[in-house]
Amino acid sequence: MGAMFDGSRVFYTENRYNTTFTFVHLDPTNITEIASVDIGYTNLRRSFDLVRDGIACSNGIIYVIDGFLNFPLNDAHFELTHQPDVSLGSDQLLKLTPSDSGIDLTSLKTMYTVFVPSDSSLDPQHLSRPELEYINANLTKDAKMAIVRRHIVPNQKVDYDSIIDGSFGAYAGSINITVIARTDGFYLRWDDIEAKIVKPNILAINAIIHVVDRFLMTSPYQTTTLPPTTSTTTQKPVSSGHTIHGSVHAHYALFIIYFAYFICFVFSQVVKYLNVCR
């Protein structure tokens, strides 16, 4: 058994599914307890115990483990709604999928590739609640389907290796998506948005699912800010440091006019009186 783990990894191929198994010893201090098998899919990594030493055969070695390395029994819809950290993102993606779109993630007749946004893709710095409400309530069916097509690819099985080696590039280009390789991973770029593939190769019976950290969409929702209301009155500073409004000036001028009229009236009455006295 020790020979199996001399070195970090030992590779085997299971011929029936043409799948490469990678045995990884996780705890070098305890060979009999913690080891795992990786067949290339995120949700199919299994921890297991080796029950006994390897059994030598004429054409190989048999190792007895305490479980089955089962392939998944769940469809894409089940995996999307049960994988950790994607329940909100998958729910939003499914809301955008029209009922008559022809996309049925429970059907075993079609193979899908799904780029499901993580829950963090709905953080306010990416998509605010008003934007999501607007998208769900106001986008046309065609606009919603354009978003869905960037995330759900029917009739294609695109695993992470196909993204790395460029095989996915031709289809991606047809929906204006560019695959970008960076030192920290692979990104899907649409418009000005880059979505990093943060968890690749989740296998379902009818799909391969990749978790991305952004929605490949922009919101047409625009917030509007009303301009501040302006007053028709003007303000003029005076030496006292107080402010006199234009309306005050108007009242003051009217008072002067009335006062002048009163003086003229009094003066005319005085003149009449004097003429009578003569």
CA distances for 216 relative to 102, 185, 255, angstroms: 21, 17, 70
pLDDT of residue 13: 41
DSSP structure string for the chain:
-GGGGSSSEEEEEETTTTEEEEEEES-TT-TTT-EEEE-S-GGG-EEE-B-SPPEEETTEEE--BSS--PPP---HHHHHHHSTT-HHHHHHHHHHS-TTSS--TT-SSS-EEEEEEPGGGGSTTTS-HHHHHHHHHH--HHHHHHHHHHHEEET----HHHHHTTTTHHHHHHTT-EEEEETTEEEEEETTEEEEEEEEEEEETTEEEEEESS-S---------PPPP--S--EEE-TTS-EEEHHHHHHHHHHHHHHHHHHHHHHHHHHHHHHHH-
What pLDDT, on the 0 to 100 scale, is given for residue 24?
57
CA terminus-to-terminus distance, the chain: 146
Q: Check residue 53 and give its pLDDT.
A: 72
Domain boundaries, given as residue ranges, for the chain:
2-62, 76-212
Phi, psi dihedral angles at 123 (to 5 degrees): -60, 150
Predicted TM-score of the model (pTM): 0.64
Q: What is the pLDDT of residue 5?
A: 43
Torsion region of 40: left, alpha or beta (phi above 0 gives left; psi -120 to 50 gives alpha) = left
Q: What is the pLDDT along the chain (278 residues), one digit of tens a residue?
A: 444 444 444 444 443 445 555 555 555 555 544 555 665 676 666 566 667 777 888 988 887 777 666 666 789 999 999 988 999 999 999 999 999 999 999 999 999 999 999 999 999 989 888 899 999 999 999 999 999 999 999 998 899 989 999 889 888 998 899 999 999 999 999 998 999 999 999 989 899 999 999 999 987 766 554 455 554 444 444 444 444 445 545 556 666 776 676 777 766 766 666 665 65
Q: What is the pLDDT of residue 154?
A: 93
Question: According to the model, what pLDDT value does residue 257 have?
Answer: 73
Three-class SS state of 26: coil
Amino acid, res. 94: L
> In the prediction, which pLDDT does 9 show?
44
Selected from 2.40.50.140, 2.30.180.10, 3.40.50.720, 2.20.28.10, the CATH number assigned to the domain covering 76-212 reads: 2.30.180.10
